[in-house]
Amino acid sequence: MSTTLNDFLMAKLVGSPASARPLRPGVFVDLDGTLIEPLPADLADPNPVRFMPGAGAAIARLREAGLAVVIVTNQSGIARGYFSRAQFARLQDVLERRLQEEFGVQIEDVAVCPHSPDARGRPACLCRKPAPGMLTRAARAHGLDLARSWMIGDTLDDVEAGHRAGARSVLLDSGGETEWRLSPLREPDGRFNAWEPLVDQLLTAVSPLPSPDPLRAASPAQMLDEPDRTTGVGSALSVRLRPSLFASSIPSAL
């Protein structure tokens, strides 16, 4: 049985929906280059968690506004053998503890894709961004309304993942994006180079929130069957491991 099929079946087994309750909005946040400074390739640094300027306070503001926060991160270093799942789990423990101790923040979950891309740099699994699987899986697990949710990341792959999931996407332009391959799915709803104005605008826009652009909010069937012409990516599912899910100078207006 292939790894991809294993992941799909595992996601089905652990993917029971949240209990029947009103869906709530959430914010999906990328890790490296967005919430924290990019991680070293081998996690050899004994203190690898260094928050991006303003990130911790910004996450605290999102939580105070009642928004669920889920971290969604590609970590192909696991598949490449640079570090183990256990090492990343220890890093996750440090991250969650520091968010709690320094900012009073408790996040909803951490979703991780441990797989490497294919030879052309595209996802070779059902969970690597720009596929939306980590987002849709977390939304199902935690009762999140994707149409009222947001994705924040430092690359256009993050932007595309949010749009494919049916959410809005904001680019934190911290230098992570270097290729700028544009398509309708990769056009951010807002672009900022600092956390504070980003959160100012997001909290202003979060309620009431208009329905997402129908071009971006595809049906589940469309997300599975119609890959983006730029990246060739379809939908995704992710797999739970530990508590994780494995599987500005001038801001623009939101």
pLDDT per position as a tens digit, 89-124 = 999 999 999 999 999 999 999 999 998 877 777 767
- The answer on pLDDT for 52 being more than 50 is yes
Q: Residue 122 has what pLDDT? A: 75
pLDDT given for residue 188 in this prediction: 98
- Whether the pLDDT of residue 3 is over 90: the answer is no
Contact 124, 118 (CB under 8 A): yes
Residue 174 near residue 52 (C-beta atoms within 8 A):
yes
Question: Which candidate, 69, 64, 31, places its Cα nearest to that of 50?
Answer: 31
The average confidence (pLDDT) of the chain is 79
Known catalytic residues are 30, 32
CB 87 within 8 A of CB 39: no
What is the band of 46 on the pLDDT scale with cuts at 50, 70, 90?
low
Q: What's the pLDDT at 44?
A: 72
DSSP string, 14-55: H-PPPPSS--B-EEEE-TBTTTBPPPPTT--SSS---BPTTH
Mean pLDDT of 22-30: 96
> Which one, of 176, 163, 6, lies nearest residue 74 by Cα?
176
Domains contained in the chain, CATH given: 3-15+27-245 (3.40.50.1000)
Are 34 and 172 in contact by the 8 Å Cβ rule? The answer is yes
pLDDT for the residue 207: 58
pLDDT over 70 for what percent of the chain? 72
pLDDT classification of 218: cutoffs 50, 70, 90: very low
Is the predicted pLDDT of residue 74 greater than 70, yes or no? Answer: yes
Choice between 210 and 131, residue whose per-residue pLDDT is larger: 131
At 142, list the tokens: 């935690």
Per-residue pLDDT band for 212 (boundaries 50, 70, 90) equals very low
pLDDT at 18 over 70: no
For residue 131, is pLDDT > 60? yes
Q: Does residue 15 carry a pLDDT above 50? A: no
Residue 57 pLDDT exceeds 50:
yes
Between CA 128 and CA 157 the distance in angstroms is 9
Q: Is the pLDDT of residue 12 over 50?
A: no
**Contact indicator for 33, 74 with CB cutoff of 8 Å:** no
Q: Which of 11-15, 53-57, 150-154, 187-191 has the lowest mean pLDDT?
A: 11-15
Q: What is the pLDDT of residue 5?
A: 42
222 or 72, greater pLDDT: 72
